[in-house]
């Protein structure tokens, strides 16, 4: 049976984030976390949902513009 809640170290590995980053996210109230008996716990499903909510859609490249027409000069002009 897989654990639903994971500790701080496992969360660092799970998200590939450092201790200071996770501490900042907790302080900002940005990441879902629970403090139980002085230890931070994280619900894996909530972390997955949190990561998915941070997804940014790639910017669409600008539509191609039609090439400007050049007027051809005749020889001798």
Per-residue pLDDT tens digits for 4-60: 999 999 999 999 999 999 999 999 999 999 999 999 999 999 999 999 998 888 888
Strands 5-6 and 34-36: unpaired
Better-scored residue on pLDDT, 74 or 8 = 8
Q: Is 70 helix (H, G, I), strand (E, B) or coil?
A: coil
pLDDT exceeds 70 at position 62: yes
Tell me the angle at which helices 19-27 and 8-15 cross, rounded to the nearest 10 degrees: 100
pLDDT exceeds 80 at position 66: no
Give the mean pLDDT of 58-72: 74
């Amino acid at each position: 049976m897989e654990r639903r809640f994971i500790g701080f170290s496992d969360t660092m590995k799970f998200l590939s984030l450092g201790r200071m980053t996770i501490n900042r996210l907790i302080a900002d109230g940005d990441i879902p976390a629970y403090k139980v008996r002085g230890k931070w716990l994280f619900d894996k499903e909530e972390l997955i949902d949190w990561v998915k909510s941070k997804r940014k859609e790639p910017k669409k490249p600008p539509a191609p513009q039609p090439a400007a027409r050049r007027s051809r000069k005749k020889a001798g002009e």
